[in-house]
């Protein structure tokens, strides 16, 4: 099955955007574009971009709009006229949302839905500080909610090395949440005015959240 709607996945850090986006891309043949993943890859490669953004990522602050907009413009350019794009972690400010609309307009395309996954603050810290991933294939896990079936080994590739994001610690999470409230929450009314906003309760089983998103996309 393929879905050709373009969506923005919104919600606080640790709200489950990445988990949902990976599954949507795999099962509905959509294209997942995650600014956080692109930036972490740049940091790992020590590219010019990576060197510029490393400290910002580690502190939980936001990378400047100019840098992020240029990064997304380049990725969307590469995608040409592809449909079924999931934007995960972008936009995070109103200027980014405006720039995104402009980019899609220039391709005679548009964002169909902005899906906000809502999770209460008190759940965020527990979710974020417990997460880790397979160092080889990237499969995500959680100390409490999603342990590998066989302890110490990845369910997908059998790898036995795992990593944690450097910014997944209590202090940085607080800063990321503050940034979310100050800079990102204002894009919720932006999409509401356009009639594109859909709210989903993210304080639920990942599978339930997934089914709700699929129902929206198949409407």
Active site residues: 17, 92, 131, 165, 176
CB 100 within 8 A of CB 86: no
Task: Closer to ligand AMP by CB, 77 or 215: give it.
Answer: 77
**Tokens 């500080």, residue?**
129
Task: Closer to ligand AMP by CB, 94 or 216: give it.
Answer: 94
- How far apart are alpha carbons 186 and 112 in whole angstroms? 19
Task: Closer to ligand AMP by CB, 55 or 77: give it.
Answer: 55
Minimum distance, C-beta of residue 1 to ligand AMP, in the bound complex (Å): 27
CB environment 76-92: b (16+ within 10 A), e (fewer): beeeeeeebbbbbbbbb
Strand order through the sheet with 197-201: 31-34, 85-88, 7-10, 113-118, 197-201
What tokens does 130 get?
């417990």
Minimum distance, C-beta of residue 61 to ligand AMP, in the bound complex (Å): 6
Minimum distance, C-beta of residue 27 to ligand AMP, in the bound complex (Å): 21
Minimum distance, C-beta of residue 203 to ligand AMP, in the bound complex (Å): 18
- How far apart are alpha carbons 89 and 14 in whole angstroms? 11
The residue number whose beta carbon is nearest to ligand AMP equals 36
**Which residues are registered as beta bridge partners of 86?**
7, 32
- Return the closest-CA partner of residue 158 out of 149, 145, 167, 169: 149
Task: Closer to ligand AMP by CB, 96 or 212: give it.
Answer: 96
Site for ligand AMP, rule CB under 6 A: 13, 35-36, 39, 56-57, 60-63, 68, 89-92, 96, 167, 176
């Amino acid at each position: 099955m393929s879905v050709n709607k373009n969506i923005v996945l919104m919600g606080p850090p640790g709200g489950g955007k990445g988990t949902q986006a990976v599954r949507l891309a795999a099962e509905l043949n959509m294209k997942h574009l995650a600014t956080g993943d692109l930036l972490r890859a740049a940091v790992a490669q020590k590219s010019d971009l990576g060197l510029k953004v490393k400290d910002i990522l580690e502190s939980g602050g936001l990378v400047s709009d100019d840098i992020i907009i240029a990064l997304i413009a380049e990725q969307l350019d590469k995608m040409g006229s592809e449909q079924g794009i999931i934007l995960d972690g972008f936009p995070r400010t109103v200027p980014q949302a405006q720039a995104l609309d402009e980019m899609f307009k220039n391709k005679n395309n548009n964002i169909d839905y902005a899906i906000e996954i809502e999770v209460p603050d008190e759940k965020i810290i527990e979710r974020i500080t417990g997460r880790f991933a397979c160092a080889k294939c990237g499969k995500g896990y959680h100390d409490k909610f999603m342990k590998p079936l066989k302890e110490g080994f990845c369910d997908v590739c059998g790898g036995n090395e795992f990593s944690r994001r450097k910014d997944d610690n209590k202090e940085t999470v607080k800063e990321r949440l503050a940034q979310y409230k100050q800079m990102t929450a204002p894009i919720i009314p932006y999409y509401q005015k356009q009639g594109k906003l859909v709210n989903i309760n993210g304080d639920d089983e990942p599978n339930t959240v997934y089914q709700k998103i699929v129902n929206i996309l198949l409407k």
